[in-house]
Amino acid sequence: MNYHDLKIVHIFLAFLTIAMSSALFHGAKGKSKQIIFGVSTLLLIVTGFVVMGRFGIKHAPPYPLWINVKLGLWLVLTIATPVVTKRFPEKAPRLFWPWLLIALIATCMAVYKPM
């Protein structure tokens, strides 16, 4: 798969992860939605690492700052989404806009690559 194909897949998985988070925040039921969310977050980081390789960035730390920020944001999305929807379902919809902000920051990191 060439660099552009990979990046398209990565961006689609970012959209899917945010869309599934929003569905779960707003009470979407069923194991299948949780599984789709889980698989999309896993494939999002896998495609991120594969695209990184195309930049000659080693897969072992230390990573550039922009990758560390994206990894941190990915961890927040991946851990907080199931925890909040399970433990605080009444508060979960409040994460809609913060999650979109996370996606925006992750995109800015990829486009501007500060440090």
Residue 61 has what DSSP assignment?
A: S
- What is the length of the chain? 115
* CA–CA gap between residue 18 and residue 68 (Å, rounded): 19
Phi-psi region of 30 (alpha: psi -120 to 50; beta: other; left: phi over 0): left
* CA atoms of 44 and 11, how far apart (whole Å): 8
Nearest approach in angstroms of CB 82 to ligand HEM is 15
Residues 6+ apart with CB under 8 A from 14: 44, 103, 106, 107
Which string of x and - marks every residue 50-89 that binds ligand HEM (by CB under 6 A)? -xx--------------x--xx-xx--x------------
* Footprint of ligand HEM on 3-22 (CB under 6 A): 7, 10-11, 14
Shortest Å, Cβ 69 to ligand HEM: 9
Q: Which of 45, 64, 80, 93 binds ligand HEM (CB under 6 A)?
A: 45
Binding site for ligand HEM (CB under 6 A): 7, 10-11, 14, 44-45, 48-49, 51-52, 67, 70-71, 73-74, 77, 102-103, 106-107, 110-111
